[in-house]
Amino acid sequence: MNHWVMDYETLINCFVAVFQHYKTEETKIFVVHKLRNDYEELLRFVNHNAYNSEWHISFNGLNFDSQITEFMIKEGSDLIGLDPERIAYALYLQAQDVIARGNNEEFPKYSERELSVPQIDVYKLNHWDNAAKRSSLKWIQYSMDWYNIQEMPIHHSTMIRTQEEIDTITTYCINDVKSTKAILLLSKEQIALRKTLTNEYNINLYSASEPRISKELFLHFLSQKTGIKKYDLKQLRTNREQIIVGDIILPYIKFKRREFNNIFEKFKSLVINTKETKGGFKYSVTHKGVKTDYGLGGLHGATKSGVYEAKDGMIIMTSDVTSFYPNLAIRNKWSPAHIPQKEFCEQYEWFFEERKKIPKKDPKNYVYKIILNSTYGLSNDENSFLYDPEFTMRITINGQLSLTMLYEMLSDGIPGSIPLMQNTDGLEMMIPASYKDKYLEICSKWEELTSLQLEHDQYQKIILADVNNYIAVHKAKEVTKEEWDTLKQKNPHHVFKEIGGKYLYSNVKCKGRFEFNDLALHKNKSFLIIPKAIYNYFVHDVLPEKTMMDNRNILDYCGGIKAKGDWKFIKTCFEKGKRTDDYLQKIVRYYISEKGCKIIKRNVADAREIQVESGKWMQTVMDEYQEKKWSDYNVNEDYYLEKIYKEIENVNKNKEKSQLSLF
């Protein structure tokens, strides 16, 4: 079967289309310009795609490229025989209309179900159109270490006159197609899952994000269970002006300590304006020297930074509530007010119980996990048929208070206990090893009271900067030699030890700025050498200098930056006392070098300027990867070492004596 990864470039008098076979290097290039007119051939090609159900795979194609394709299929035959620049201009006008609709937050002219050519949009699929994950193709190219993250070098309003300009546009378009194909390969499992779901439920989910999968499948099952048509369910919402929190707090919530009763009373007296939930409530509680912050979304707290190890008769317990937010709704029979309660709760619980029966390797296990976790979020989405902000607040507020009860029960019930962290759905606590059974007994009482379940594990060490940034090393577990070898191949950076014929493995979890492995592509992976060196220092006792000497991958030394709004990046260089400024593209990849230039962010509206890297540090732009000898990159290693040791000192700042023998 032939499917095509594709991209269009629409300029005022030139149109370029590139298609590459999804499995091979076969590439088709079409140009519409006075120097080369492939329009009729292009039209035959896309009609052939439509007739044979050959897919178009794109980045943001549903909202752009597919709209141009559909215009050509439905109305494009009228353009045959016209001057090629008139044809290009007609396609350009269509493109501008598509862009204007998007800017005005209007629906595309052609909905997905109307499209003649089936689509896979990796932008939609990965949810990069969501505000929290918003990412352009250039940013994803940077994130996956693509060799060339060049932006379109010619503005769309430019009159193209030469073959050289056409070649430049074509080369750019080919680069975008190849990188989109790379994203496709990274998304293979996700696409296979969507294919299975599409076939099973007869709902087109090929380009669906995880929240949309959750919405569509919950709608499907709920419609079957209630007998309410999908269309009618989609219209339902519960709109509220305010939520009286005292009316929705669970009756079992009780506290002994004054500090926890204070937060309890704050919540009981709270009236929430549903139009201002973000940042609508903030309160902090300090217990045993640990500050915990409460809001409308969840609680977060951590003790002072440091390295906490399970030694000298102490152990570190970590306990998480199993599917915390879904189970709060399931066990307490909560539902959005406009959805029949019995049917909603039965269906929601069915997903939870069914998932437990399915092996983790089965894609359906993942699907049910998506549904369970996304339903809570969809209840706070005005565009969702599950929208009822009171349902959301019941979960988040009672979740915080229930977890705080566990925190108090353990803290008071375990002599010598040291709270380390509390975060949304669980907590970490250092306790005397002799009290482990008591710890589990208290947890069982809490489970009986709340009808919730806890999952327990132990850490050997926590390297803590703050609640959002830490490294947690699990207690070592004995595994077979075969398992050990498999795990070592899959997770080489974790902890592996062979002692007396026993094979020990410790899983390691990194959070926040300490993450460096398998980062989601929308996240900023700048200067990965820094978290890698910090990790090796604290987990493997390797000095940062050694990590850097062993890692000469220049891309691990690169940072990425984005310009938004009125801001633009400028490369400022000084040579023989003369300053030269060159504008850079919106997304820039660079590293810190001994010699080079300064990258400055300038506001074109008011001329403000901010150095991307303040002080003495110079930068070298590397939007296009160039392979060189390490010495030829001219990397300023002092910059990276300074950042690494600053983070190490930040973690160790509360120690009486620093672990750093170098200082």
416 and 552, same domain (yes or no): no
Q: If you average pLDDT over residues 453-458, what whole number do you get?
A: 97
pLDDT above 70 for 306: yes
Percentage of residues in the chain having pLDDT higher than 70: 98
Q: Point out the domain boundary residue: 442, 473, 504.
A: 473
Q: How far apart are CA 263 and CA 276, in angstroms?
A: 20
Percentage of residues in the chain having pLDDT higher than 90: 90
155 and 38, same domain (yes or no): yes
Query: Is residue 513 in a domain?
Result: no
Query: Is residue 184 in a domain?
Result: yes
pLDDT grade for 436, boundaries at 50, 70 and 90 = very high
pLDDT grade for 657, boundaries at 50, 70 and 90 = very low
Query: Is residue 554 in a domain?
Result: yes
201 and 248, same domain (yes or no): no
Q: How far apart are CA 430 and CA 453, in angstroms?
A: 21
Per-residue pLDDT of 342-386, as tens digits, reads 999 999 999 999 998 988 888 888 889 989 988 888 999 998 999
DSSP per position, 222-266: HHHHH---HHHHHT-----SEEEGGGTS-TT----SHHHHHHHHH
Query: Is residue 306 in a domain?
Result: yes
**Strand-pair partners of 10:** 15
| pLDDT attached to residue 661 | 32
293 and 424, same domain (yes or no): yes
312 and 445, same domain (yes or no): yes
Q: Point out the domain boundary residue: 417, 450, 473.
A: 473
Quick one: tokens of 620?
């070298």
pLDDT grade for 280, boundaries at 50, 70 and 90 = confident
CB 503 within 8 A of CB 484: yes
| pLDDT attached to residue 625 | 96
Per-residue pLDDT of 546-595, as tens digits, reads 999 999 999 999 999 999 999 999 999 988 788 899 999 999 999 999 99
Q: Point out the domain boundary residue: 157, 186, 208.
A: 208
256 and 204, same domain (yes or no): no
| CA separation, residue 217 to residues 38, 99, 372 (Å) | 43, 31, 11
Query: Is residue 508 in a domain?
Result: no
| CA separation, residue 215 to residues 125, 152, 367 (Å) | 14, 36, 11
Q: What pTM was estimated for this model as a whole?
A: 0.92
Number of domains in the chain: 3
Per-residue pLDDT of 495-520, as tens digits, reads 999 998 899 999 999 999 999 998 99
291 and 173, same domain (yes or no): no
Strand bridging mode 119-121 / 14-21: unpaired
pLDDT grade for 663, boundaries at 50, 70 and 90 = very low
537 and 435, same domain (yes or no): no
| pLDDT attached to residue 128 | 96
pLDDT above 50 for 660: no
| Lowest-pLDDT range of 395-399, 557-561, 649-653 | 649-653
Domain limits for position 106: 4-208
Per-residue pLDDT of 1-35, as tens digits, reads 899 999 999 999 999 999 999 999 999 999 999 99
Query: Is residue 359 in a domain?
Result: no
CATH number of 332's domain: 3.90.1600.10
Query: Is residue 318 in a domain?
Result: yes
Closest to 651 in 3D by CA, of 402, 305, 397: 305
CB 173 within 8 A of CB 7: yes
**Strand-pair partners of 271:** 244
pLDDT above 90 for 434: yes
Strand bridging mode 36-37 / 27-33: antiparallel
Per-residue pLDDT of 166-191, as tens digits, reads 999 999 999 999 999 999 999 999 99
pLDDT grade for 655, boundaries at 50, 70 and 90 = low
Closest to 111 in 3D by CA, of 99, 123, 103, 119: 119
| Lowest-pLDDT range of 136-140, 348-352, 459-463 | 348-352
Q: If you average pLDDT over residues 278-284, what whole number do you get?
A: 85
Query: Is residue 353 in a domain?
Result: no
| pLDDT attached to residue 375 | 87
